[in-house]
Chains A and B, each alone.
Chain A
Amino acid sequence: MIDLPWDFSAIPRFFPGFYVAALLTLQITFFGILVGLVLGLITGLMRLSKNKLINSPAKFYIWMIRGTPLLLQLMIIYYGLIDVVNISRMPAAIIGLGVHNGAYIAEIFRGAIQSVERGQREAALSLGMTSTQAMRRIILPQAFKRSVPPLGNQFIIALKDSSLASAIAVRELLLRARQMGSATLMMLEMLMIVGIYYLLMTTVLTFLVGRVEKRLQVSDYQD
C-alpha cells in the first residue's frame, strides 16, 4: 500500500462548507451576464448602425475589451480607479464581468442579426412596416433564437471567468479554496472540491440552455 500525500475523504467532509462561496460565484455570474446582455444588445445594435457617430463608440468598446485580459480589467476597476471612485469588491466584480461579456455578447447579437436573410426585412418593409418595426417584430425574434447556442457558450465562459474575481478579494469559490487549502494544508483536496462545484454548475447551465433551444425549435419542424 502506497501512502498517498492526500486525504480524499476530506472532500465530502469539506464540500458543504463551500456553499456560501458557490452562491457568491453564482451571483457574480448571474448579474455579470445580465449587465453583459443589456450592454451587448445596445452595443450590438449600435455596431450595425450606418451612422459613424453611433457605430464607432461601439467598435471602440468591443476592440478595447476584447483586446485586454479580464484580469486586467478587474484590477483597473477595483484598484486602478480607487482614487476616483471606491467601488467595493462585489460590484466591481459584477461590473467587470458584465462589461467584459457585453463586448462578446454584442458580437454574438450582431452576427445573429446579420444572419437573418435580407428578404425578411424586405418582406416586413413591403407590408408597410417601419425599419424599427421590422427589427423588433421580424428580425430580432429570429436573431435571438439563433444567438441561444453561442450565448449558452458565453454564459459558461462567464461562470468560469468569475473565478478571476478572487484576484480582487471576492470570496468566491476559488479564493475560498485557496484560503481553506492554506488553513488545512490540503490544497489539492480543496481545489478539487471547487472543481466539482464548477462542473455541477456548468452541467446544469448546459442543460438549461439545451432546454431553451429545444423550446425555441417549435417553428422548425419539417414533416
Chain B
Amino acid sequence: MIKIRGLNKWFGDLHVLKDIDMDVAEKEVVVVIGASGSGKSTLLRCLNFLEFAQSGQIFIDGKETNPKSRNLHLIRMEVGMVFQHFNLFPHMTVMGNAIEGLTQVKKVPHARALVQGTELLAKVGLSDKADVYPAMLSGGQKQRVAIARALAMNPKVMLFDEPTSALDPELVGEVLQVMKTLANEGMTMIVVSHEMGFAREVGDRMVYMDEGRIVEEGLPEELYSNPKNERTRAFLGQIL
C-alpha cells in the first residue's frame, strides 16, 4: 500500500530523516515509536506532503507520488491524517467538521453528505453531538470527531500523529477503542504512538526510530519484550 525508498529530509542543516525505507502492506497496522526529535512525526507529514522530503520516493497504492504535482490535493485525499492537537475547525459544528471534506472536496450534495456524516458520527460514538461546536467537547471527543472527519474521505491509509498524547489519561481509551475498531475493519494504518497496550494488541509491526533512522522493527511483542538494539532497549526502558 505504501512504499518508501531512500527518503531524506532536512530542516536547514538538521538532517531529520536519513535514508528511510519502509513498506506498509494493505490492512497492516504499523506503530512507530521513538524519542521526540527522532523524525517519526516528520515521516508521517512527508507521507501526506505537509512536509516535502528533499530526496527519495513515496509510492501510494503502487503509484509514485510527485510532490511537485499540481494535484497534490488529490493525493492527500487518499491519505487521512489525525493530528496530536485535533485541529478541528472551531467555526463549524461536529457534523460540519465531519462532512466538510465530502461537500467541499468530493462535492457530495449536502443531503447525502449528512447521511454519511450521521453514519460516521455513530461509528465514533458521537451521534448525540452532531450540532455541538468543538469548544464544547472533551479532548477524547474532539479526537474522535477528527477521526470521523478523516474517514469521511474514504482514505486508503490513515496516519495517526500521536493521537492520544494531548489527552487526559482517562480519555485515551475511548480514542484507542475507535482506532482498534478501524484496524479490525481492515484499515491500513501508520500510528505514531507510545501506547504499548494498543501496539501489542492491534499493531502488526512496530518500528523504532532514532535520530532520523529506522533502527529496529519487528512484531510489537518481540520488539517490546526482546529488543535487539541497544538504543531500542534503552528507549523502551525509559517509557515503560
Q: Which residues of A contact B (CB under 8 A)?
A: 117, 119-120, 122-130, 133, 137-138, 141-142, 145, 218-223
> Do B100 and A119 have beta carbons less than 8 Å apart?
no
Give the complex CA separation of A137 and B105 in angstroms: 11
Interface centre among A122, A124, A127, A218 (most CB of B within 10 A): A127
> Do A127 and B90 have beta carbons less than 8 Å apart?
no
Give the complex CA separation of A117 and B101 in angstroms: 19
> Known contacts A119-B83, A222-B135, A223-B136: does B73 contact A125 (CB below 8 Å)?
yes
5 closest A-B pairs by CB: A128-B77, A123-B87, A119-B87, A127-B101, A126-B81
> Do A127 and B87 have beta carbons less than 8 Å apart?
no
Chain B residue numbers with a CB within 8 Å of A141 are 91
Give the complex CA separation of A126 and B88 in angstroms: 12
Chain B residue numbers with a CB within 8 Å of A137 are 100, 104
> Do B150 and A122 have beta carbons less than 8 Å apart?
no
B48 within 8 A of A: yes
Q: Indicate the size class of the contact surface on chain B.
A: 20 to 34
> Do B136 and A117 have beta carbons less than 8 Å apart?
no
Chain A residue numbers with a CB within 8 Å of B48 are 126
> Do B76 and A221 have beta carbons less than 8 Å apart?
no
Chain B residue numbers with a CB within 8 Å of A130 are 73
> Do A221 and B135 have beta carbons less than 8 Å apart?
yes
> Do B136 and A221 have beta carbons less than 8 Å apart?
yes
Chain A residue numbers with a CB within 8 Å of B92 are 219
Q: Give, as a whole number of angstroms, the nearest-CB distance from B108 to chain A.
A: 13
| One of B77, B91, B135, B136 near A127 (C-beta < 8 A) | B77
> Do B87 and A120 have beta carbons less than 8 Å apart?
yes
B234 within 8 A of A: no
> Do B135 and A119 have beta carbons less than 8 Å apart?
no
Give the contacts of B71-116 with A (CB-CB under 8 A): 73-74, 76-77, 79-81, 83, 85, 87-92, 100-101, 104-106
Residue of A nearest to B48 (CB): A126
> Known contacts A127-B153, A221-B136: does B50 contact A122 (CB below 8 Å)?
yes
B144 within 8 A of A: no
> Do B50 and A129 have beta carbons less than 8 Å apart?
no
Give the complex CA separation of A38 and B150 in angstroms: 35
Q: Give, as a whole number of angstroms, the nearest-CB distance from B104 to chain A.
A: 6
> Known contacts A119-B83, A218-B133: does B90 contact A126 (CB below 8 Å)?
no
Interface centre among B77, B81, B89 (most CB of A within 10 A): B89
A-B residue pairs in contact (CB < 8 Å), sample of 26: A117-B87, A122-B87, A123-B81, A123-B89, A125-B50, A125-B73, A126-B48, A126-B76, A126-B150, A127-B76, A127-B100, A127-B105, A127-B149, A127-B150, A128-B106, A129-B105, A133-B104, A138-B89, A142-B91, A145-B91, A218-B133, A220-B90, A221-B133, A221-B135, A222-B135, A222-B136
Give the complex CA separation of A222 and B77 in angstroms: 32
Given contact pairs A126-B79, A127-B149, enumerate 13 new A-B contacts (beta carbons under 8 Å). Answer: A122-B81, A122-B83, A123-B83, A123-B88, A123-B146, A126-B81, A127-B100, A127-B104, A129-B101, A137-B100, A142-B90, A219-B92, A221-B136
Q: Give, as a whole number of angstroms, the nearest-CB distance from B178 to chain A.
A: 18
